Amino acid sequence: MEARFEAVRAAVGAALDGSLAALPDGDLTDAMRYATLGGKRVRAFLVMEGARLNGVPDHAALPVAAAVEALHAYSLVHDDLPSMDDDDLRRGMPTCHVQWSEATAILAGDALQALAFGLLADPAIGPPEARIRLLAAFADAVGAQGMVWGQALDIAAETAVEVPDLAAVKRMQQAKTGALIGFAATAGPMIAGADTAPLAEYARNLGLAFQIADDLLDATGDEETTGKRTRKDEAAGKATFVSLLGVDGARAKAHLLIDRAIAALAPYGSEADDLIALARFVIERDA
């Protein structure tokens, strides 16, 4: 998996650099480029592997992988804003609004979102009907019934009279984190016009496990390793998988979800070995 992961990172980085190089010089483009630096590229890897498993060549999947990473970068820029999570450190670097200004960060996020939709229109992906399928699914995943809705639920929970229960936290995270992961995993079969169910089930479990791992890193990790502030959830009194299940309970839940994710890949046999390795990486990572 490591060699494939590195190849995907390099290819997606080059694709994003190429798209950004076509934009006017200035703080806006510089902030967009800054926001896309680093990161694990898990979502891009899901796109590329889901595509490979369904007979979609890398050159067709690459614009989709770049789109997912551009969208993810926008979400992080906005998530870090003073009016949202008010973070000053991301991927070991000052957050975008700290490096530039809040206004520039907002505009950079807006522009990255627009760039993501533009990348999904690339003819290299396939015929128009495949691109329309992707665009419609992408809009659902990242908008007011997906990622943005999850963010809204997260904000509302901060001032709720009653602390959200486990079902509410799960619902929020399935939207905030899981929706984009779900799109990334199923983009390949969508392009191919194939069955999305196995990878959708894989992604549903992987997305929750990924969030639990993030909650555990916030509770038990250190800033130097994670590249972002830790212990923020506890300080803010947020309901998380760790606060509701405890550290050991959260770890056990994450392992159960990864087992379910791996089981969903059975139709692909050994061809899914890289996605199996990714699932295990998700709960073993330290950043």
Q: In terms of domains, do 247 and 129 share one?
A: no
In a domain, 172, yes or no: no
Q: How far apart are CA 58 and CA 111, in angstroms?
A: 26
* pLDDT, the chain, mean: 94
- Provide the pLDDT for residue 231: 83
Number of H helices, E strands in the chain: 15, 2
Give the mean model confidence (pLDDT) for residues 22-33: 97
Q: In terms of domains, do 156 and 264 share one?
A: no
- Provide the pLDDT for residue 228: 81
- Provide the pLDDT for residue 247: 93
Q: What is the pLDDT of residues 183-226, one digit of tens each?
A: 999 999 999 999 999 999 999 999 999 999 999 998 888 887 77
Q: In terms of domains, do 19 and 152 share one?
A: yes
- Provide the pLDDT for residue 34: 98
Q: In terms of domains, do 52 and 97 share one?
A: yes
- Provide the pLDDT for residue 162: 84
Which is more confident, 74 or 283?
Answer: 74
Per-residue pLDDT band for 29 (boundaries 50, 70, 90) equals very high
pLDDT of 287 strictly over 80: no
Q: What is the pLDDT of residues 97-114, one digit of tens each?
A: 999 999 999 999 999 999
Cβ-based neighbour number of residue 83 at 10 Å:
10
Owning domain of residue 133? 1-162
pLDDT of 260 strictly over 80: yes
Per-residue pLDDT band for 235 (boundaries 50, 70, 90) equals confident
Per-residue pLDDT band for 35 (boundaries 50, 70, 90) equals very high
Q: In terms of domains, do 121 and 222 share one?
A: no
Q: How far apart are CA 53 and CA 229, in angstroms?
A: 37
Q: In terms of domains, do 85 and 221 share one?
A: no
Cβ-based neighbour number of residue 191 at 10 Å:
25
Q: How far apart are CA 118 and CA 70, in angstroms?
A: 11
In a domain, 169, yes or no: no
- Provide the pLDDT for residue 177: 94
Q: In terms of domains, do 97 and 239 share one?
A: no
The dihedral sign for the CA sequence 71, 228, 261, 166:
negative
How many folded domains does the chain comprise?
2
Query: In 3-state terms, what secondary structure has residue 89?
Result: strand
Q: How far apart are CA 282 and CA 137, in angstroms?
A: 24
Q: How far apart are CA 60 and CA 68, in angstroms?
A: 14
Q: What is the pLDDT of residues 167-183, one digit of tens each?
A: 999 999 999 999 999 99
Q: What is the pLDDT of residues 113-167, one digit of tens each?
A: 999 999 999 999 999 999 999 999 999 999 999 999 999 999 998 888 888 899 9
- Provide the pLDDT for residue 226: 76
